Amino acid sequence: MRDETTCCLVRSTRNRQKATTMEQWPSLSILLSFLLISAVILSLCQAAPEVFTNSFYVRLNGEHGHDVASRIAKRNGFENLGPVMGSKSEFHFVHRGLNHARTKRSVPHTRLLKADPLITSAIQQSGFRRVKRGFNPLKVENLVDVPLSHNDPSDPYFPYQWYLKNTGQNGGKPKLDLNVEAAWAQGITGKNVTTAIMDDGVDYMHPDLKFNYNAKASYDFSSNDPYPYPRYTDDWFNSHGTRCAGEVAAARDNGVCGVGVAYDSKVAGIRMLDQPYMTDLIEANSMGHEPNLIDIYSASWGPTDDGKTVDGPRNATMRAIVRGVNEGRNGLGNIYVWASGDGGEDDDCNCDGYAASMWTVSINSAINDGQNAHYDESCSSTLASTFSNGAKDPNTGVATTDLYGKCTRSHSGTSAAAPEAAGVFALALEANPSLTWRDIQHLTVLTSKRNSLFDAKGRFHWTMNGVGLEFNHLFGFGVLDAGAMVALSREWKTVPARYHCDGGSVKEARRVPSRGTLVLTLDTKACQGTDTEVNYLEHVQAVVTLNSTRRGDTNIYLTSPMGTRSMILSRRPNDDDRHDGFVKWPFMTTHTWGEYPKGTWTLEVRFVGDVLQAGWLKEWTLMLHGTRDAPYVNLPVTDPHSKLAVVKKAHEDRKKA
Ligand SMILES: *[C@@H]1O[C@H](CO)[C@@H](O)[C@H](O)[C@H]1NC(C)=O
Ligand SMILES: *[C@@H]1O[C@H](CO)[C@@H](O)[C@H](O)[C@H]1NC(C)=O
Ligand SMILES: *[C@@H]1O[C@H](CO)[C@@H](O)[C@H](O)[C@H]1NC(C)=O
Ligand SMILES: [Ca+2]
Ligand SMILES: [Ca+2]
């Protein structure tokens, strides 16, 4: 079943009544593209000056294919780098005579391309910043002997992999881990599953990775060749991807480093972070690379975590993601795993359009005693958590592979957390290869655990939503439990079709008071009686347009008819924007998962901070995503205390009432 839009910046009013369940990048009218472009340009002005690269998105007037495209490029003085997402009519051209980054568009080059009779459009790519999350420079490692049980992997770093098996090493809390041994004990180790590490390259000759390397699914989009080997620098800056790869698929019992979460799975390297500026085409080609060979894409990067950026996937990248979830894995949908961000309490991952997307699984981190890490961001779109580093000794990071055949124990940041989740999902996909991208999200919600996770500062408490699912603003539905996820995956029945319901809008501009709160309500029937009826929620988006004299002092809450209150925008003290505000920004919450959407939704907007601010809320549209039919009805309940049992009972009681 396909899934319709919502993206955000350009939600089409024309599509409102459209009865499809496909996730869809809306067909764009001129007005809508204008909105998108202006939103993008506006958000860029805020963060960094716009630059233009020497690369061009080129659309031909038909499906001419690669060779013709190369000839067209050549006769205009360009080089054809290849198709955009495998297309026969869209290509990526570069002009070697242009600087890699300039401050002005090169109108003559664009004009030259557009004048070619076989070219219908040519867009010079802007360049922007995408940063790795959690980079730690090289450290010298001294190993000490830690006793092992005879069932444990014999790899020398396994005793340091407290996130796989926490015995209380380094002051950690015993059993606060991913519970992977319970998955391995079911014979599940990730066989025939490929995770792509979209990063700065992978040392695929590393003795702990080379037998699990999927060369066919790999590519280097930074250098445009099939070998995503990291570029050497003295400080090993480009070790990030190799470290992430080892967390997923380092080999077992080979005497090298530790083991991956899914140590019999494969990793692909997609090198795409190592060039002066990121472009939409590099991101799109990376996220759309070999979607039938790659099951899971893991990303430990994003817009700058400076607490004042509002940015997300651009045009082609959004298309790549939507195509991935609709068509990838031969129609089951690719899984995109995202590090929620390292901006700390002063940032909000709902302002990061990758992490906040419904089509990515956004993962936060916890440290080895159950607290959040000091760099963790919080937001209502985070689905679950894994682990990053130690509490007492910050060098007790994640033990994994490092460049040039080495090992490290100090990989950290939410960067380190996302690949652990990719590994757990690889286990789930081996246990049940027919899981869809949505099944993975449902399984995550149902099997993640509160365990002993807590907010170090006591701000965010564990709260029960309307159908008995416990969530936390920092950790989502809790820490992944590989054993439980694999067990439930085996009996899983694919969830019912997904629908997208426009739950209504408030479109008159309303003043946000300088003191006090603007409270808006929307009564919705959740498209009852239409073919997009939603009765059981998955994601909810509040698409908001607002301006204010200080964007970072704006605070927004969304409360569901069942009383679940999500903070969809927290204070960001560094965000001093006073021009752009938010333009149709899709704030997302996962906290109302499983709830019934019918009834009254409440949006509260207010200013926090010491200085009086002023602003206007110009638009609020409520987008409800989920199923018409109850999920989980055909799933057997073995444990009456499981979340599955609790939600099923809530749904059954509701039906009786
Ligand atoms: C491995 O996965 C591919 C699809 O990704 C599938 O076609 C193939 O049958 C699988 N092989 C095994 C042995 O399960
Ligand atoms: C986005 O894509 C649409 C349709 O493919 C195109 O018309 C528009 O110019 C693109 N915008 C940018 C900024 O590339
Ligand atoms: C916000 O928009 C309103 C109405 O369009 C306008 O009057 C006001 O000056 C704007 N405020 C800011 C801070 O841009
Ligand atoms: Ca090993
Ligand atoms: Ca961020």
**From ligand 1's centre to the CA of 192, what distance in Å?**
6
Closest CA to 38 of 589, 633, 585: 585
> What residues sit around ligand 4, an ion, with C-beta below 5 angstroms?
155, 208, 250-251, 254, 256-257
pLDDT at position 162 over 50 = yes
Q: Please give the pLDDT value at position 149.
A: 75
**From ligand 3's centre to the CA of 615, what distance in Å?**
7
Average pLDDT score over residue span 204-215: 97
DSSP classification of residue 351: G
Q: Please give the pLDDT value at position 102.
A: 82
pLDDT at position 42 over 50 = no
Q: Are strands 463-464 and 407-411 parallel, antiparallel or unpaired?
A: unpaired
Residues with CB under 6 A from ligand 2: 28, 33, 37, 123, 315
Distance CA 300, CA 490 (A): 29
Average pLDDT score over residue span 566-582: 97
CATH number, span 498-627: 2.60.120.260
State the average pLDDT for the chain: 90
Atom of ligand 2 nearest to the CA of 280: 14
Average pLDDT score over residue span 37-48: 42
Express each pLDDT in 88-120 by its tens digit.
999 999 999 988 878 888 999 999 999 999 999
HSE-CB at 395 with a 13 A cutoff on CA atoms is 7
Q: Please give the pLDDT value at position 17.
A: 34
Distance CA 388, CA 401 (A): 15
Are 308 and 577 in contact by the 8 Å Cβ rule? The answer is yes
**From ligand 3's centre to the CA of 614, what distance in Å?**
9
* Ligand positioned closest to the Cα atom of 331: 1
Q: Please give the pLDDT value at position 1.
A: 39
- Pocket test residue of 507, 508, 616 for ligand 3, highest count of atoms within 8 A of CB: 616
Q: Quick check: helix, strand or coil at residue 383?
A: coil
237: Cβ–Cβ under 8 A, 6 or more apart, which residues? 135, 200
For ligand 2, atom 1, the nearest C-alpha belongs to 315
Residues with CB under 6 A from ligand 3: 509, 547-549, 578, 615-616
DSSP classification of residue 442: H
Q: Please give the pLDDT value at position 627.
A: 98
Average pLDDT score over residue span 160-169: 93
Which range among 140-154, 196-210, 469-483, 497-511 shows the weakest confidence by mean pLDDT? 140-154
Q: Please give the pLDDT value at position 412.
A: 85
DSSP classification of residue 8: G
pLDDT at position 309 over 70 = yes
What are the residue boundaries of the structural domains of the chain, listed by start? 24-127, 132-491, 498-627
Dump strand ranges (E) for 560-634: 565-569, 582-589, 599-607, 615-627
Tell me how far CA of residue 586 lies from CA of 353, 550, 573, in angstroms. 8, 19, 21
Q: Please give the pLDDT value at position 391.
A: 77
pLDDT-based confidence at residue 147 (cuts at 50, 70, 90): low
Q: Please give the pLDDT value at position 599.
A: 98
Distance CA 306, CA 335 (A): 27
> Hey, which CATH number is domain 24-127, 3.40.228.10, 3.40.50.720, 3.40.190.10, 3.30.70.850?
3.30.70.850
Express each pLDDT in 237-264 by its tens digit.
899 999 999 999 999 999 999 999 999 9
Q: Please give the pLDDT value at position 141.
A: 58
**From ligand 5's centre to the CA of 399, what distance in Å?**
25
Which range among 125-129, 248-252, 500-504, 533-537 shows the weakest confidence by mean pLDDT? 125-129
pLDDT at position 27 over 80 = no
For ligand 3, atom 10, the nearest C-alpha belongs to 547
pLDDT at position 359 over 90 = yes
Express each pLDDT in 216-227 by its tens digit.
999 999 999 999
Average pLDDT score over residue span 71-89: 95
Q: Write out the catalytic residue numbers.
A: 199, 240, 415
Q: Please give the pLDDT value at position 234.
A: 81
Higher pLDDT, 94 or 50: 94
Distance CA 98, CA 94 (A): 9
Are 20 and 4 in contact by the 8 Å Cβ rule? The answer is yes
Express each pLDDT in 440-457 by its tens digit.
999 999 999 999 999 999
Q: Please give the pLDDT value at position 349.
A: 96
- Pocket test residue of 8, 27, 28, 44 for ligand 2, highest count of atoms within 8 A of CB: 28
Q: Please give the pLDDT value at position 560.
A: 98
Tell me how far CA of residue 435 lies from CA of 262, 429, 489, in angstroms. 17, 7, 8
Average pLDDT score over residue span 480-505: 98
Q: Please give the pLDDT value at position 140.
A: 52
Express each pLDDT in 621-645 by its tens digit.
999 999 999 999 999 998 999 999 9
Q: Please give the pLDDT value at position 16.
A: 34
Q: Are strands 536-548 and 470-471 parallel, antiparallel or unpaired?
A: unpaired
Express each pLDDT in 589-621 by its tens digit.
999 999 999 999 999 999 998 899 999 999 999
Q: Please give the pLDDT value at position 392.
A: 72
Residue type at position 31 = L
Distance CA 479, CA 484 (A): 11
pLDDT-based confidence at residue 656 (cuts at 50, 70, 90): confident
Tokens describing residue 236: 């090993």
- With 0-12 / 13-18 / 19 or more C-beta atoms within 10 angstroms meaning exposed / middle / buried, residue 330 is exposed
Identify any residues that bridge with 320 across adjacent strands, giving them in sequence order: none
Q: Please give the pLDDT value at position 21.
A: 67
Are 267 and 423 in contact by the 8 Å Cβ rule? The answer is no
pLDDT-based confidence at residue 400 (cuts at 50, 70, 90): very high
Atom of ligand 3 nearest to the CA of 549: 13
pLDDT at position 429 over 80 = yes
- Pocket test residue of 9, 25, 33, 113 for ligand 2, highest count of atoms within 8 A of CB: 33
* Ligand positioned closest to the Cα atom of 577: 3
Atom of ligand 2 nearest to the CA of 59: 5
Q: Which fold, 132-491?
A: Rossmann fold (3.40.50)
Q: Quick check: helix, strand or coil at residue 556?
A: strand
